[in-house]
Amino acid sequence: MSVLIYDSGIGGLSVLREARILMPEFKFVYVADGAVFPIGGWEEEALVAHLLGLFDDLVARHNPQMIIIACNTASTIILPHLRERFDMPVVGTVPAIKLAAEVTASRQISVLATPGTVQRDYTRSLIAEFASQVNVRLVGAEDLARLAEDFMLSGQIDTKAVNKEIRDCFVDRLGARTDVVVLACTHYPFLTNVFRRLAPWPVDWLNPAEAIARHAQSRLPQGGAVKDVQDIAEFTGGEPTPQMRRLLSGFGLKVI
C-alpha cells in the first residue's frame, strides 16, 4: 500500500516525516517537482495542465491509496481537479488560518506564504470564513522557499535575506503585537529556529505538517499490513544534485 506525497521541492519532507510516524505500514512515494520550482510564479492554467499530466503518470505507475499535496500553492488550485479525476482520497495543504485565529491573544496574526498562495482567492476566503474578527497580514515571501532549500542542502543560511522576507510579519498596532505567524509553505518549518532568532519578539510559528499527517491518517485504513519495501523519491526537471541525493538518503528515501 502506497501514498504519494507531492511538493514542488523538498519542503514536503516535513509532512513525510510526520506521516511516517502515524502511518508506518504504508510505502511513501515522495515527488519533488523541480520542473515547477519555485511554483509561486506559475500561471494557474499552465500549472494545472502540468500537474494533471504528472499525476496521470504517477497514479498509473504507483497505484497509490492516497495523494497528499504537501504544497500550499498547488493545493489552492489543483485539489478540485484531482478529486474529480481520481477515485481516492486527496489531502491538501491550506494555511492554518482557522487555528491561528483560535489561538491568538493579541488578535494580530500574519500569514507567511509564497506570492502565489497570498494572491489566491482561496486564501482570502479562509480569512473571511475563519478570521474575520482578527487582523490578518498576508506576507508574500518571494525567495524564502529557495532559501529554505539551500539551507536544507548546505546547512548555510543568509540571515539578512531571511530577515528581509519575514520582517513584514511583525505588526505592533497600538501596543497589540503579532503573536502568531502561519507558516503557509511546507518549506518554511525547516527554518523555524532561524525565524526565532531573527524575530523582534516571540511569536507562535504554526507548522501545518502534523495536522496534515493526522488528517491523512484519518482517511486511510490502519493496521493489517507490514511495510517491506523502502520509501522512494522521484524528481522532475532533471537529475538531483549529489547534495539532494544525500539529503533524501538521510530521510530514508531511495532516489529512482
Give the active site residues: 71, 185
Q: Which of 161, 156, 127 is nearest to 144 (CA)?
A: 161
Q: For the purposes of burial, counting CB atoms within 10 Å of the CB of 132, is it exposed (0-12), middle (13-18) or buried (19 or more)?
A: exposed
What's the rounded Cα separation, in Å, for the pair 71 and 163?
Answer: 23
Tell me, rounded to whole angstroms, the distance of Cα 31 from its chain centroid: 13
Tell me, rounded to whole angstroms, the distance of Cα 27 from its chain centroid: 20
Residues 6+ apart with CB under 8 A from 205: 181, 183, 189, 192, 195, 196
Q: Cis check for the bond before 208: say yes or no (omega within 30 of 0).
A: no
Nine cell digits for residue 166: 519575514
What's the rounded Cα separation, in Å, for the pair 114 and 223?
Answer: 37
- Collapsed DSSP state (helix, strand, coil) of residue 8: coil
Q: Which of 2, 16, 115, 119 is nearest to 62 (CA)?
A: 2
β-bridge mates for residue 30, sequence order: 5, 233
Largest Cα–Cα distance in the chain? 58
